[in-house]
Chain A
């Protein structure tokens, strides 16, 4: 009886049972239509990147290449010139790793601790600081360029890797802190209180209770930061030197030339290549989106 009443109440039950129900057809139907919308530009990019320039000029962007060439990919990766250095995106790849890894780790640690302190260990004025942070997330980066240059100059770390890591941490902080604060606020307070009663301190509760319960939001933070920092161009050039330039400098140089011939096929290949690293991170870390970090499970 319970089963019939559920199907009566509508086709969108919470748990699918049969593989080929009307509900599933609709569900997967919608998802596939949505995926077409998401994949269309990728199709155009990949197809364009596999064509030679004469074929690109013909202008049929949806058509697969008549003559497949991988030359644009080779060129984007190791031949495209940035001024004099004709070694393509490969040049800045390790620099990007060198910048992204510490920046992502440090910014996420700091922001998650911020969020935790803001929810569970409030102190006088913490809300005001938080409000200022949120305000900061609305400030366009370029406006802050001059003040930050002055700040780093005075701190004596202008032009160093540490300076850049600090800048990424600063600009990632508002959104990340908000992310963690709001996620932690949905964790039942009884858990926190129970741990306090058991004598756990600030760091103990953070490490043993908050961290394990917050994997999905850490994944979201990771996605956000890896993307933001890996794709950052402005800070990478303003706050470092040429020997530390991230690969987006090369990407920008390939994609963004104002004068001269635009090699659209190389542009597309370079864009997809640069996007590969965040993409791998999405796919791998996405598996941590496990279902059912049910508070009940921990409670019981």
Chain B
């Protein structure tokens, strides 16, 4: 008895471990290895090709002295918080609406999801047109007679991030809606029956019962949205090129790519990306601790 149990545990472990080999290799070799590689080279003066000529913290000093970099970080913080809140709220509300046994669900879902399939470069261009004061919404409303109407978010440094947000939400909320919908569909019908029997109002069921049950889905959403925000690049390039006012919509990823590939200063690009990764770590380590620390699964 004890022998078979021990063997069962051994075989159980072995097939799980074999199955996890791709994951372990990816985590260790690619992500950990690649990150260490990046950090090491951020202390060099590599230009076009990675070279091990160390220059200490020079790249970091220059990075933090660059006004473009510090503004990029401020912009990303603002955009990130706004985008995270709106994406999650909109995604959840839309998923709830979709989950009301509506007709034409496939059509509605596809309409909300289709922006996800289109290239950022062109969607950025289209939004730039729509938001352009001359031939976009402002022009149309003015031509209808309301001549003092002003809607020009992209050319005002104070509002440009909202302009990006309009396009960013358009592109991303559909997918988050699907994710949330999958979560809602995974919830036991019995729970709905039980709350209905108890006479709990629907909105309260969502807030008190369903959302806590969907904790895992929300975490997935947060990671997906947040990683998208950190990597935000194409949309800004297509819509504002980092402007107006020079750098009102600059983001860190743009700084990284520009310096790696246009300025051909790999060291500077790696230093900037190391700072980005460091800030991710600062958020991620407490999360990992909460997620895995102490709690035992079954």
Q: Measuring CB to CB, which residues of chain A are less than 8 angstroms from any residue of chain B?
A: 5-6, 9-10, 12-16, 27-28, 30-31, 34-35, 37-42, 44-45, 59-62, 110, 113-114, 116-119, 121-123, 126-127, 129-144, 146-148, 151, 169-170, 173-175, 177-179, 182-183, 185-187, 189, 192-193, 201-203, 216-217, 219-220, 223-224, 227, 230-231, 248, 251-252, 255-256, 264, 267-268, 270-272, 274-275, 278-279, 282-283, 286-287, 289-297
Given contacts A38-B114, A142-B257, A144-B30, whether A186 and B213 have CB atoms under 8 Å apart is yes
A131 and B284 contacting across the interface, CB-CB below 8 Å? yes
Inter-chain contact A223/B19, CB cutoff 8 Å = no
Interface-side segment among B63-71, B150-158, B275-283? B275-283
Partner of B227, one of A6, A138, A182, A189: A138
Residues B91-148 near A (CB distance < 8 A): 94, 97-102, 105-106, 108-119, 121-123, 125-127, 129-130, 134-136, 140
- Residues A38 and B188 in contact, CB atoms below 8 Å apart: no
Q: Find the residue from A6, A133, A193, A289 having the highest chain B CB count within 10 A.
A: A289
User: CB < 8 Å: which of A37, A62, A135, A275 contacts B118?
Assistant: A275
Q: How far is the CB of A214 from chain B (nearest CB, A)?
A: 8
When chains A and B are docked, how far (Å) is the Cα of A149 from the Cα of B20?
24
Assuming A62-B140, A123-B20, A292-B185, what are 19 further A-B pairs, CB within 8 angstroms?
A6-B196, A12-B201, A14-B205, A34-B94, A38-B112, A110-B23, A121-B13, A144-B30, A175-B223, A202-B19, A217-B182, A223-B116, A231-B117, A267-B125, A268-B122, A268-B126, A289-B105, A291-B185, A296-B188
Task: Answer yes or no: B253 CB below 8 A from chain A CBs.
Answer: yes
Q: Which of B193-232 contact A (CB under 8 A)?
A: 196, 199, 201-203, 205, 213-214, 216-217, 219-220, 223-224, 226-227, 230-231
- CB contact between A41 and one of B17, B123, B261 (< 8 Å): that residue: B123
* Bound CA–CA A296/B297 (angstroms): 22
The reply to whether A289 and B109 contact each other, CB–CB distance below 8 Å, is yes
Given contacts A15-B101, A37-B170, contact A202 B16 (CB under 8 A): yes
Cα separation A148 to B33 with both chains bound (whole Å): 10
Complex Cα spacing A140 to B50, Å? 18
| In the complex with contacts A27-B97, A44-B126, A140-B253, A121-B30 CB distance below 8 A | no
From B53-61, B173-181, B242-250, give the one contacting chain A.
B173-181
Instruction: Tell me if B31 is interfacial: C-beta within 8 Å of chain A.
Output: yes
- Given A44-B126, A227-B116, A283 contacting B110 (CB threshold 8 A): yes
Using Cβ atoms and an 8 Å threshold, which residues of chain B touch A169? 22
Please judge, given known A-B contacts A275-B118, A283-B106, A286-B110, whether A203 and B33 are in contact too, CB under 8 Å.
no
- Complex formed: what's the CA distance from A146 to B50 in Å? 8
Closest A residue to B180 using CB positions: A220
Contact with A along B12-53 (1 / 0, CB 8 A): 110111011011101111111111011000000000001000
Q: Provide the residues of chain B in CB contact with A217, threshold 8 Å.
A: 182, 186
Minimal Cβ-Cβ distance residue in B for A274: B119
Indicate if the CB atoms of A147 and B37 lie closer than 8 Å.
yes
A141–B253 CA distance with the chains assembled, in angstroms? 10
**Which residues of B lie under 8 Å from residue A230 when comparing CB positions?**
117
Some 12 contacts from A to B, beta carbons below 8 A apart, are: A127-B292, A137-B223, A138-B284, A170-B26, A175-B223, A183-B217, A186-B217, A192-B298, A202-B15, A202-B16, A255-B121, A286-B110
Residues from chain B with Cβ under 8 Å of A121 in the complex: 12-13, 15-16
Q: Is B162 on the interface with A (CB-CB < 8 A)?
A: no
Asked if B12 and A201 sit within 8 Å, CB to CB, the answer is yes
Smallest beta-carbon distance B297→chain A, Å: 6
